[in-house]
Amino acid sequence: MKLWEKNYDMNSEIERFTVGRDREMDLYLAKYDVLGSMAHITMLEKIGLIGSEELPVLLGELKKIYGMCERGEFVIEDDVEDVHSQVELLLTRRLGDMGKKIHSGRSRNDQVLVDLKLFTRHELMEIAQEVKRLFDELIEKSNEYKEVLMPGYTHLQVAMPSSFGLWFGAYAESLTDDMLFLQAAYKMTNRNPLGSAAGYGSSFPLDRGLTTELLGFDSMDYNVVYAQMGRGKMEQGVAFAMAAIGATLSKLAFDACLFNCQNFSFVKLPKECTTGSSIMPHKKNPDVFELIRAKMNKLQALPTEVTLIKNNLPMGYFRDLQIIKEVFLPAFGELKDCVQMTAYIINKMEVNEHILDNPIYDPIFSVEEVNRLAAEGMPFRDAYKKVGLDIEAGKFTPNKKIHHTHEGSIGNLCNGQIEQLMQRVLEGFAFERVTNAEKKLLGE
């Protein structure tokens, strides 16, 4: 079944090529296609294109299809082109001609746009929740080990004293900035394209404000041409936000692999989260973090992939945009999986509390000594030279009692302020508006 089929048969090879992986990708969108249809027909009843006695019957059947999607029972049959056709086919099998009315005032163009937006905002909501869980683990570890010193590095040379409080807390604060990107992507996503049809509106007197309210969108994409131009643009913006989180996770994974190796021995990963060697019985490999690093580096290519598919297209819809789904839709699951794995291992990670007992790290306290002498009145350049000569002569004795008080330093982590920052960002999403709208539409 094709929504556009006429009185001729399509070449089977052309059909295979043009459908591509669409049936597979459309399974991600199935329940959101149903939600969009429920809102659309509720609006059609208001403007008189569906009878008042027909609406509850159609809504009832759509809720059943939604249940199939939730239980994993929804399939797109081999001779059915896409999710939109499958939903309409199920309705017409059960309700006859009544089921054919749901497409009035719609095109597959605005139908897939609303599906993608509903799917994406749901996935962004789940990603935000998973990022918050990782953030909480990092803050907890930062507070737990705030007194434990570790060497800080520049150029991979030991540089100055740092702490595990700073290390864990740095990644927590990085995630707050990533969440700002995610919030911007969410707000761009949470606008209603339904009613733009094929990109030029409809002669039916559609009530786009009603579908916007029913689906919990913050607003609509007002200009119908722009609504269609948003295909690919939304995915590009969201991909950049996901890539920002990916960059933070990749850097954290690299640190964890480095610090876990025997040459550093700063942290110890839980043995049940490592893998072994087929030949070396002593090995406990940090494969999880290595895979996170690779997956998140791959994710950072997603904005470029989307851009290269869409960047030379003029106004209007083109089939090129179908290919974006193949790289975009599966990326959410991979990101969530990596965030969850990172949070799990951070929770169980053990810290070496005696790293600086090793005298090879004594020089990192040189700046502390320079600053002490400068505070006592010696010119800074003279203090710098004196301490440098003492180190060269082997006469430097470090004072390992660190006392920093300025904001964000070893002695004043500002974790409370970082938590407040994250909370403000989370509140800015206003997820409850969407949750309440979807529950009301489903009659829950």
- Biggest CA–CA distance in the chain, Å, is 95
pLDDT value at 7 more than 60: no
Question: In the chain, pLDDT over 90 holds for what percent of residues?
Answer: 87
Q: Once rounded to an integer, what is the mean pLDDT over residues 303-320?
A: 92
Distance from C-alpha of 317 to C-alpha of 228, rounded to nearest angstrom: 7
Q: What is the pLDDT of residue 69?
A: 97
Weakest mean pLDDT among 4-8, 165-169, 323-327: 4-8
Average confidence (pLDDT) over 32-59 = 97
Q: Is the pLDDT of residue 391 over 60?
A: yes
Average of per-residue pLDDT across 334-358: 97
Kindly state the percentage of the chain with pLDDT values over 70.
98
* pLDDT at site 4: 44
Amino acid at 183: Q
Residue 81 has pLDDT above 90, yes or no: no
- 148: DSSP letter: -
Distance CA 259, CA 350 (A): 11
Encode pLDDT of 272-305 as tens digits.
Answer: 888 988 899 888 899 999 999 999 999 999 999 9
Q: What is the pLDDT of residues 248-263, one digit of tens each?
A: 999 999 999 999 999 9
pLDDT class of 78 with cuts at 50, 70, 90: confident
What's the angle, vertex CA 379, arms to CA 376 and CA 380, rounded to 5? 95
pLDDT of 2 reads: 52
Q: How many CB atoms lie within 10 A of CB 100?
A: 14
- Which class for 225: exposed (0-12), middle (13-18), buried (19 or more C-beta within 10 A)? middle
Q: What is the pLDDT of residue 297?
A: 98
Q: What pLDDT, on the 0 to 100 scale, is given for residue 320?
A: 92
In tens, the pLDDT along 232-246 reads 999 999 999 999 999
Rounded CA-CA distance 374/302 in Å is: 50
State both tokens at 69.
């999607």
Rounded to whole angstroms, the Cα distance separating 119 from 331 reads: 12
Amino acid at 365: F
Mean residue pLDDT of the chain comes to: 94
pLDDT digits (tens, 9 = 90+) for 192-201: 999 999 999 9
* Cα–Cα dist 207/215, whole Å: 13
* Whether the predicted pLDDT of 104 surpasses 50: yes
Mean pLDDT of all residues in 295-316: 95
Would you state the torsion angle of the CA atoms of residues 417, 420, 422, 426, taken in this order, to the nearest 10 degrees? -170
Contact assessment for residue 87 and residue 80, using Cβ atoms and an 8 Å cutoff: no
pLDDT at position 61: 97
Indicate whether 62 pLDDT > 90.
Answer: yes
pLDDT at 186 over 70: yes
Closest CA to 213 of 237, 234, 195: 195
Q: Is 406 left (phi over 0), alpha (psi -120 to 50) or beta?
A: beta
Q: What is the value of pTM for the model shown?
A: 0.93
Give the contacts of 160 (CB within 8 A, at least 6 positions apart). 151, 152, 364, 367
Q: DSSP per residue over 240-277, as a string?
A: HHHHHHHHHHHHHHHHHHHHHSTTT-SEE--GGG-B--
Q: Assign 117 to helix, strand or coil.
A: helix
The pLDDT of residue 183? 98
Mean pLDDT lowest for which of 5-14, 47-56, 82-91? Answer: 5-14
Residue 421 predicted with pLDDT over 90? yes
Please, how many CA atoms are within 13 Å of residue 180, restricted to the half-sphere of its CB? Answer: 7
Question: Could you tell me if residue 100 is left (phi over 0), alpha (psi between -120 and 50 degrees) or otherwise beta?
Answer: alpha
- With a cut of 80, say whether residue 345 has pLDDT above it: yes
Question: What is the per-residue DSSP string for 120-137?
Answer: HHHHHHHHHHHHHHHHHH
Answer for the pair 117, 190: CB distance below 8 angstroms, yes or no.
Answer: yes
d(C-alpha 148, C-alpha 168), whole Å: 12
Please report the domains of the chain, with CATH numbers, ordered by start residue: 12-104 (1.10.275.10), 109-357 (1.20.200.10), 359-407 (no CATH)
